[in-house]
Amino acid sequence: MTLRKALLAATVLALPVAAQAQPVSGLYVGAGAGLNYHQESTDSGLKLKYKDVGAVGLGALGWGFGNGLRAELEGNYRSNDLRRSTIGGVRASDTAGSVLNYGVMVNAVYDIQTGSPITPYLGVGAGYGWVESHKIRATTGALTTTSTDTAGNFAYQGIAGVGYNLGAGLTLTAEYRFYGTLDPKLDAEVRSGAANGRVLASGKIEPTNYNHSVLLGVRYAFNAPAAAPAAPVVAPVAPPAAARTYLVFFDWDRADLTDRARQIIAEAAQNAKRTQTTRIEVAGHADRSGTPQYNQRLSQRRADTVAAELVRQGIARNEIAVTAYGESRPLVPTADGVREPQNRRVEIVLR
C-alpha cells in the first residue's frame, strides 16, 4: 500500500458519521414551544378576531414500543390576545382581553423510519381542554360586552413533525399542530357604558376554538439504542495479498443477505479457489438486544445463510465448518439490550 493510499484511507475512516435514528423504545420526555395562530371565533352575531400570533408551550411524558409507535401524555398551554370584535354586525370601537387554552391530551404518534438521522412523524390526540376568556371587553356605542370565565370541553388535535437524531437519546423536533375543542360555553354580560357599568343582561357565548401551532422542541429517550452508522465501513483498503478473513454484516433482527453482503461472500469464495484453502470457517454472531436463547438461534440462521451462499458460489459444503456463538463474542462490547450493528455479523475465515 502506498503512503498516499494509506493517508486517504485514514482520512475517510476518521470522518464523523451521522447518528442513524432508531425507533424509540421505552420511556421518554419531550417539550416544545412556539407560535400559535387562533382562527377567528364566531357565535351567531359575535366575531372575535385575534392578533396575528400568540404563544404556545407543551410538555409530554411518553413510551415508545420499539416499532415506530409511541404513546404519550401531554400538557399544553396557548395564549392569544384579541385585536378586534364584531357584535351583531357592528364593529366594536374598543376591544381588549385574551383567550387562553390549556389542556391534557393523550397522543398516538408514528415515527416513519428513513435510515437516516431524520425521522418524520404523524400523530393524533384526544383529551380535555379548558378555554378561558380573560378580561374580554368589547364596546359598541353605549354598551360594553364583557366576559371572564373558564369552561372545559372535549379537545382534539393532529400532529405532523420531523425529528433530527443527535445521538445519546436526544432528538430535536419541529412540528405543526392543529388543536381544537368543542365550542365552550362562557358567561358574558352586557353593561351600560364602561366595563364596570351596570349589568343590563347576562347569558352564555359559545365561540368556536380552532388553533394552528408551529413548535420547536427536544425529546430525550432514557433507553436509546446505540446509534447505527449511516454507512458502516465493511473493510478498509485491502493490501495486495488476498484477505483471509471476511466480515458480513446484517440488519437488526435479520438473517437475509444485502447486496454488499453477497459481494463479500463472492470475494471470499473466489479467494478460497485461488489459494490453497483446505477449510472455511463460518461463525455467526448477534448483538445483545434480544434474549441469549433467541440470539443463539439468530446467529445460527445467519451462519447457515452465509454457508448456503458460499455453496452457491461453488464451494463444496464439506469444506465449510459452521459455528454459532450468539451474543457471547461481541466485536464491540455493550450492555445488555443494546443494538450494535458491528456485532450483527458472520465471520468467514479461510484456513
Closest CA to 325 of 280, 291, 295: 295
Per-residue confidence (pLDDT) for residue 193, from 0 to 100: 83
Tell me the CB-side half-sphere exposure of residue 282, using CA atoms within 13 A.
26
Q: Could you tell me the CA-to-CA distances from 345 to 224, 244, 246, 297 in Å, in that order? A: 22, 16, 10, 13
Q: What is the bridge-based pairing of β-strands 186-192 and 143-167?
A: antiparallel
* Domain at 3-17+234-350, CATH homologous superfamily: OmpA-like domain (3.30.1330.60)
In 3-state terms, what secondary structure has residue 149?
Answer: strand
Longest CA pairwise span in the chain (Å): 107
295 vs 327: CA distance, rounded Å: 6
Per-residue pLDDT tens listing for the chain (351 residues): 454 554 444 443 433 445 678 899 999 999 999 999 999 999 988 999 999 999 999 999 999 999 999 999 999 999 999 999 999 889 999 999 999 999 999 999 999 999 899 999 999 999 999 999 999 999 998 999 999 999 999 999 999 999 999 999 999 999 999 999 999 999 999 999 888 889 999 999 999 999 999 999 999 999 876 545 555 656 565 454 455 889 999 999 999 999 999 999 999 888 888 887 778 999 999 999 989 999 999 999 999 999 999 899 988 889 889 999 999 999 999 999 899 999 999 999 988
CATH (one of 1.10.10.10, 3.40.50.740, 2.40.160.20, 3.30.70.520) for 19-221: 2.40.160.20
Query: What DSSP designation does 342 have?
Result: G
In 3-state terms, what secondary structure has residue 285?
Answer: coil
Q: How far apart are the first and last CA of the chain?
A: 24
Per-residue confidence (pLDDT) for residue 17, from 0 to 100: 45
Per-residue confidence (pLDDT) for residue 20, from 0 to 100: 75
Per-residue confidence (pLDDT) for residue 47, from 0 to 100: 94
User: Could you tell me if 69 and 79 are in contact, meaning their C-beta atoms sit under 8 angstroms apart?
Assistant: no
Per-residue confidence (pLDDT) for residue 226, from 0 to 100: 55
- Enumerate the domain spans of the chain: 3-17+234-350, 19-221
163 vs 173: CA distance, rounded Å: 4
